[in-house]
Amino acid sequence: MKEAGFPLGILLLFVVALITDYSIILLIKGGNLSSTKTYQELVKKTYGLVGYLILSVLQFLYPFIVGVDNVLTDRHFIILLTTIIFTLPISLYRDIAKLGKVSLLSLVLTIVILVVVMVRAVTFSPQVPKSENAWIFAKPNAVQAVGVMSFAFICHHNSFLIYGSLEEPTLKNWSQVTHMSVALALVISVAFAASGYMTFTGYTEGDIFENYCRDDNLATFGRFCYGVTVILTFPLECFVTREVIANVFFHGNLSTVFHVVVTVVIIAVATGVSLMYDCLGIVLELNGVLSATPLVFIIPSACYLRLSKERWNHPDNLISCLILVLGVLVMAVGFVMTVLHPQECSHGKEMFYCSPSNASLHNSTLPP
């Protein structure tokens, strides 16, 4: 919302959600047309080895970086301990269906975090001064915002895995699951964005939890819940990253020993990088425009257009062309703008409105 402008940001969230919903279904349609059962097989059959390798790199980077951006604290011992005790054992599962309960718990905690942000929008926002031009319709960094939104909505890299785990993997059932999932994600995203931005407006950080004061116990509880959601979410992303490595280097089959070794290496490298990096904003932007945008906008549309046997003016072909062009523009412009004007973080520094003098001034102006 800070990058795009509040009204335009809400509008873009709906647009990205609609494109995500459409392209996820388009991906499975492409798989059915090409008789393939994975994203990589689809691209390899459609665009050969070059396309396969490009997709493999993108599929590896997106979920890998999801693990990299999860650590926003300097308590290295706790990070390592939780990784060893929780993240690694869950990531060692070989059946993605077994992660269903873990994902459900992650979703519940996401709702809890949303409640925390909404409560603080009411109770804490009066303490935060509103920035200038906070409510203008659009801002020049809207393309960067689309990159972040693409990052938030993307699930294409594991769509085939989830599609295959359905009891009845049909296009009709998949469409229903996709519509419900993206709609729920949209509602949560809009609520998060609106509550967070209305609280902090132009002072919104790349990681919203950096905006809350250190002595805010409710926000600290929200931070804890967020940490747990990442611990529970990363195994699903690790599953995709591991599958890419298995397909590229081991012809799709990993022995038990190599399964463990590859999993440990992925988690170790992601954790190691995350210990050295503490700013979430630029990670979301770069990963959004370089990895998420091609996976959401460009590749599903390009594959479907190559495989489609419909006339050129068929609605699916026309919409796919539009999404493809839009994706190329977002990727190119978003990358340049992110490099020139990256989001900044406070790097753990207390925000100015958290100082006792500011709080005292604020309390003195409140009605009895």
Res 365: pLDDT: 45
Q: Where are the alpha helices (H) located in the chain, listed in sequence order? A: 6-34, 39-68, 76-82, 88-91, 100-123, 142-153, 159-165, 171-200, 217-249, 256-275, 280-287, 293, 299-307, 315-340, 356-365
- 123 contact partners, CB below 8 Å, separation of at least 6: none
Cα–Cα distance measured from residue 81 to residue 83, given in angstroms and rounded to the nearest whole number: 5
Q: Which of 13, 1, 16 is nearest to 297 (CA)?
A: 16
pLDDT on residue 364: 43
Mean of the per-residue pLDDT values of the chain: 83
What pLDDT does residue 184 have? 92
The pLDDT of residue 363 is: 46
Collect all residues with Cβ–Cβ distance below 8 Å to 151 and sequence separation of at least 6: 284, 287, 288, 291, 292
pLDDT for position 156: 83
Could you state, in chain order, the average pLDDT of each consecutive group of 10 residues for the chain (368 residues)?
Answer: 90 94 92 88 90 84 59 60 82 75 84 94 90 88 85 82 85 93 93 93 85 91 89 81 85 85 88 71 74 88 90 89 92 84 70 71 45
Nearest Cα residue to 2 out of 128, 98, 129, 136? 136
pTM for the predicted model, two decimal places: 0.78
The pLDDT assigned to 67 comes to 57
Tokens of 103: 């994902």
Q: If you write DSSP's letter for every residue of 203-247 in order, what string do you get?
A: G--SSGGGSS-TT-HHHHHHHHHHHHHHHHHHHHHHHHHHHHHHH
- Domain 6-363 belongs to what architecture? Up-down Bundle (1.20)
Any idea where the domains of the chain sit in the sequence?
6-363
User: Can you spell out the DSSP letters for 94-128?
Assistant: S-GGGGHHHHHHHHHHHHHHHHHHHHHHHHTGGGS
Q: What is the pLDDT of residue 160?
A: 85
- Count Cβ atoms within 10 A of the Cβ of residue 354 and give its class: 0-12 exposed, 13-18 middle, 19 or more buried: middle
Quick one: pLDDT at residue 323? Answer: 93
